[in-house]
Structure 1
Amino acid sequence: MEEDGGRRWPMVVLTASPFHGHMAPTLQLATALQAKGFSIAIAHSKLNPPHPSNHPGFIFLPLSDNVSAIDDSSSFTRFIHDLNANCQPSFREHLTRLMSEENRGDKSIVVIYDYLMFFAGGVAIDLNLTSIIFRSSSAAYFPAFLARRQLHQQGQFLQQEFVMQDVVPGLHPLRYKDLPFSKSPIEDWHQLVAIFSKQRNPSAVIWNTVKFLEHEALSKIHEHYQVPVFAVGPLHKITPSPPTNFLEEDTGCITWLDKQAPKSVIYVSFGSLVTLDAKVLTEMAWGLAKSNQPFLWAVRPGSVRDSEWTEFLPEAFREETRGRSLIVKWAPQKKVLAHSAVGGFWSHCGWNSTLESISEGVPLICQPFNVDQGVNARYTSYVWKIGVELEVLERGEMEKMIRRVMVDEEGEEMRVKVGEMKEMVKNAVQNGGCSHDSLEGLVGFIISSS
């Protein structure tokens, strides 16, 4: 596309990681930038690739990753190291070829890369191209990660070394238990800290969040990087985009929801990566059963250790909940949360899920597992007060939490608060809103960088 002055707009090359929670917002950002007039290329691993047919007009650049399926039982650090080392050569080849085509010149390509795919930033800088980091986690997670890294560098590694309910000094309201402690060996942490400490500074940072939600954290991010920070979320509300799920959605659950009373259904889903013990899932099942609430439960195949799908569920549970329950393998989550029958979301509090719930005015039951989920759960329950955090994984406590959100007066207060936030999100993405203006600022930055 040509600018008014006849200059060529830069091509935007986005590098996506193979994690669904990262891939989806990356493709949403790409769709938003394409709508602004940019040519878009997606560099992606061969593991969990996007579907080109869903994104007409994009150029797809497969990277030679030589990695097997994501396995949470193996070393995450080793996986990230191998992914970056293996993808780098083919990414450099793609960029070099694109730069030579049509006499593009040195600075007519801008690279936006998922922070887990940090090799792309290094290659871009080596080739004298503008590099921009894209973060799909909450902004509040960033200072939490820095605090955890600092503790590590001070020689404090393990959960046993802290009073986990104490608030981290300088990081109120986060407790030590909310920080991203790793189940990996200490040596893995050494390597992970070393990897992220060596990343080269970008020209700008993009965050899939909203300023009114995370103003303080965004200010800390700007202080850290000393470059422009663009809060352009929630991206799924900025622009409609095709599904990016790696699993087939069961759209029949929408028909089931159509038959339920308004705000009566608790929706349960723990995302695309969480793996659980059958014992915990059985406690969840009985908590749902004893709550007497209708529920829609997405149980991802293989998400329960030593089970193919739901064979671990007791027959007595199935009998007790027959007629008021539906269990599916994967749900069209944004449509589910937007449905009038859904009154609560029992979630792992991944950032995409948290944003989607806020955007539809649905309060949460928070059951965080790792990475940024503890931070998100703390803000959801303690700061924004639009949910409750489940800290005791026992059926009686689970039943109580469901009732607090779905039946009690406290739940109605949460619904009012999150309903107000839904309207604020709606305003943020409209013309003149903070996220809309931030996206326009990003567009101007990309153009000026060429």
Structure 2
Amino acid sequence: MHQYPQVLIFPFPAQGHVNSMLKLAELLALASLTVTFLSSKYNHECLVCHIDILSHFTQYPGFKFETIPDGLPQDHPLLGIDNPPPDCIIGDGALGFTFDVAYELGIPIIQFCTISAGCIWVYFSISDMIQAGELPIKVPGMETYLRCGDLPSFCRTIDINEPIIQLIIKQTHKITQANALIFNTPEELYGPIPSQIRTKCPNAKHGESFGQFPNTRWEEDKSCIAWLDKQQNRSVIYASLGSITSTSSNQLVELWYGLLNGKTNFLFVVRPNSVIGKVGEGKDVVKELSKKSKDRGYIVDWEPQEAVGWNSILESIIVVVPMICWPYFADQQVNSRVVRALWKIGLDMKDVCHRKTVEKMVNDVMVDRKEEFAISASEMAKVTNRSVSANGSSCSKFNRLIENPINIL
């Protein structure tokens, strides 16, 4: 009887990373691979808190969730005596220590780069720019649209020996040691960039997988669905601080005024405890703004959604929806510039949050330049949907990926 390999998947503990890796885990389980999804105890509790995810995955006989403690001493054994090691580890590209685990166990390691391919290439280029004394100046292949201010947020320091920069360089270099790479990006979206990444990892096999499992760490307020059902199709702008971003009360009010003064109704998601300030202050501000929104808008703590971060950009592309990007940190600066300058499917509100700016951008994407963005978004959607069609590049690469765990053992 043919034995499929046992695959261990370990995500970085942030919602966007977890959602992407859960989707990958489900796709592998559909292909009859035996899959273990490993999380810290805290993150597993967050995972199962608001959706019945355990029941969903019982349909896959070879799938199981496992947890590890949130903290262990340095000399703690990697695996218990009764737990044989998996045949392969799929680690999050943000977790370099998964390589150490794989090497100690003597098994292959596949890295799933959950952020965009463009940002991965920027990370690879940081070391070269430092050695050339060019940081921050240019990224090969992105010179025509990427500016200094579009580099990841940690590049804005004047000290190139800053620990966070050195950590990113170290973590990114570990990707080159992987037996295989999975990109969370259709290759067609970034032109030559994925090929350039492959020059850094010549010995690694490559696959693509993108999509998100609808996991949430917060209780969904489904009352907004009834409000949305009363609105005309594609007449509402959706605004959200996402799963990580925090903001001041002043910024929140500026963003709200910009939405309120725009020409369209809005749904505004303000995650609990996302407003910086005294205990309870943010909640009071949100409550007051909700009262003042009246018929123009609807404000909730969290709403039914599948994607956050880079995943939300992919989702917007697929459903042909233009974007206004207000980047917060890490890969978001790169992504927001690409949305505006390369794909031309939205606007980049980098380093500013003023009501007049928000109002103008809302009116541009929803009214004044709506057709312009709709045409660009439609073209990008065609490219992306082709890649996941039966004979598309992403589908073909994923089918090869399913065989990769067997081939690299």
TM-score band (shorter)?
A: 0.7 to 0.9
Q: Distance in 1 between matches of 2:338 and 2:247?
A: 24
Cα gap change, 1:60 to 1:145, in 2 (>3 Å): same
Q: Distance in 1 between matches of 2:111 and 2:195?
A: 16
Q: Distance in 2 between matches of 1:132 and 1:87?
A: 24
> What amino acid sits opposite 2:297 in the alignment?
S
> What amino acid sits opposite 1:26 in the alignment?
M
Q: Distance in 2 between matches of 1:429 and 1:87?
A: 43
> What amino acid sits opposite 2:285 in the alignment?
F
Cα gap change, 1:95 to 1:156, in 2 (>3 Å): farther
Q: Residue 130 of structure 1 aligns with which residue?
A: 108
The alpha-carbon deviation at position 64 of structure 1 amounts to 2.5
The alpha-carbon deviation at position 149 of structure 1 amounts to 3.7
Deviates more, 1:223-232 or 1:272-281: 223-232
Could you say what secondary structure the match of 1:134 adopts?
strand
Task: Tell whether 2:371 aligns with 1:399.
Answer: no
Backbone CA RMSD of aligned residues: 2.7
Task: Tell whether 2:156 aligns with 1:196.
Answer: no
The alpha-carbon deviation at position 320 of structure 1 amounts to 5.2
TM-score, length-scaled by structure 1: 0.79
| Corresponding residue to 2:343 among 376, 384, 389 | 384
Cα gap change, 1:288 to 1:86, in 2 (>3 Å): farther
> What amino acid sits opposite 2:66 in the alignment?
L
Q: Distance in 2 between matches of 1:431 and 1:190?
A: 40
Cα gap change, 1:88 to 1:431, in 2 (>3 Å): farther
Q: Distance in 2 between matches of 1:169 and 1:42?
A: 36
Q: Distance in 2 between matches of 1:12 and 1:278?
A: 45
Q: Is contact 2:179–2:205 with CA below 8 Å preserved after alignment?
A: no
Q: Is contact 2:39–2:67 with CA below 8 Å preserved after alignment?
A: yes
| Corresponding residue to 1:110 among 75, 88, 92 | 88
Task: Tell whether 2:45 aligns with 1:59.
Answer: no
Q: Is contact 1:20–1:246 with CA below 8 Å preserved after alignment?
A: yes
Deviates more, 1:57-66 or 1:253-262: 57-66
Q: Distance in 1 between matches of 2:74 and 2:10?
A: 10
Q: Residue 298 of structure 2 aligns with which residue?
A: 326
Q: Residue 148 of structure 2 aligns with which residue?
A: 176
> What amino acid sits opposite 1:189 in the alignment?
I
Q: Distance in 2 between matches of 1:86 and 1:219?
A: 41
Q: Distance in 1 between matches of 2:317 and 2:114?
A: 16
Q: Is contact 1:45–1:63 with CA below 8 Å preserved after alignment?
A: yes
Task: Tell whether 2:28 aligns with 1:23.
Answer: no
Q: Distance in 1 between matches of 2:334 and 2:184?
A: 16
Q: Distance in 1 between matches of 2:98 and 2:172?
A: 16
The alpha-carbon deviation at position 87 of structure 1 amounts to 8.9
Q: Residue 74 of structure 1 aligns with which residue?
A: none
The alpha-carbon deviation at position 127 of structure 1 amounts to 2.0
Cα gap change, 1:389 to 1:87, in 2 (>3 Å): farther
Cα gap change, 1:207 to 1:33, in 2 (>3 Å): same
Q: How many equivalent residue pairs?
A: 391
Q: Is contact 1:218–1:229 with CA below 8 Å preserved after alignment?
A: no
Gaps (5+ residues) in structure 1? Answer: 1-5, 67-84, 100-107, 338-348
Cα gap change, 1:332 to 1:155, in 2 (>3 Å): same
Q: Distance in 2 between matches of 1:155 and 1:88?
A: 40
Cα gap change, 1:226 to 1:25, in 2 (>3 Å): same
Q: Residue 340 of structure 1 aligns with which residue?
A: none
Deviates more, 1:135-144 or 1:319-328: 319-328
TM-score, length-scaled by structure 2: 0.87
Gaps (5+ residues) in structure 2? Answer: 49-53
Taking the TM superposition and a 5 Å limit, the aligned residue runs for 1:78-89 are 89=76
Identify the structure with bigger relative contact order (alpha carbons < 8 Å, sequence gap 6+): 2
Task: Tell whether 2:389 aligns with 1:417.
Answer: no
> What amino acid sits opposite 1:235 in the alignment?
G
Could you say what secondary structure the match of 2:153 adopts?
coil
Q: Residue 284 of structure 2 aligns with which residue?
A: 311
Q: Residue 198 of structure 2 aligns with which residue?
A: 222
Q: Is contact 1:14–1:40 with CA below 8 Å preserved after alignment?
A: yes
> What amino acid sits opposite 2:68 in the alignment?
L
Q: Residue 405 of structure 2 aligns with which residue?
A: 446
Task: Tell whether 2:253 aligns with 1:277.
Answer: no
The alpha-carbon deviation at position 232 of structure 1 amounts to 2.3
Task: Tell whether 2:266 aligns with 1:295.
Answer: yes
The alpha-carbon deviation at position 197 of structure 1 amounts to 6.3
How much identity, in percent, do the aligned residues show? 31
Q: Distance in 1 between matches of 2:57 and 2:261?
A: 44
Could you say what secondary structure the match of 2:284 adopts?
coil
